[in-house]
Structure 1
C-alpha cells in the first residue's frame, strides 16, 4: 500500500508551485502594484517633505535641493516617484469606483486596469520630458 493522491497515482509527490509561471490577470497586477506603490509612497513622502522644508528655509537650502536635480540618478528617482504617485492615485480611484459598482464588470475592470497602467506610465513619461 502506497500513498495515493486524488488522481490515483501511486507514490506521487506534490508538484513544485512556481510563482513565475502563473499568468495573472491585468487587474490582479494593477491591484498588487497599488499596494507596492502605497508602501513606496509611505517611505518616500518623508524624504520629499524634508527636501521641501530644506528648499523653503533659505536661498542656500534651495540651491542645495536644486543641485540634486543635476544628478541623473536623482532625476531618475524623481521620475520613478512621479510614476508611483500617479499609479497609486489612478488605481485608488479605480478601486473607489469599483466599490460603488462602477466598472466592476469583467470587461470594464480589465479596461480600467489597462487605463491605470498606461496612464501611470504616460504621466511618468511627461515628467521625464520636463526633468531630462
Structure 2
C-alpha cells in the first residue's frame, strides 16, 4: 500500500493512518510518501505525533517492509519510524529516503537515532538515504 501525504492532511496524519492500518490486517508492504507542494507550507505543519496505545494487527504480525519517502527529519517522522520498528515483529526492511533538502550531517544524526532504536524484529535492516 502506498499513501501520499499532502499538506492539508498532515495535522491529523497519525489518526487517519492508524485508522487505515486497522482496516488492512494483512498488509505486508507500506510506503508513505510525503508530497508537500513547497517548503513554506511544510513549515506550517504542526509536529503533532502522539504515540498510539493500540498497535494495528498488520504492524505487529504482518508488515515486512516500510518505506518512508520525502523524509524531512522532523521529530514527528522520527517518532513514527521508531514506532514502526519497535512494534513490527516481522519487519525485514525499514527504508527511509530523505528529502533532497536535508544535509548530510542531519541525515547522519537521524540514522544514529534510528540505528540505536530497539527493534521488535531482530532481522530488521535499516536503510537510510
Q: TM-score, normalised by structure 2?
A: 0.26
Q: Determine which structure has greater relative contact order: mean sequence separation of CA pairs < 8 Å that are 6+ residues apart, divided by chain length.
A: 1
Give 1 or 2: higher strand fraction.
2
Higher helix content, 1 or 2: 1
TM-score, normalization by structure 1: 0.25
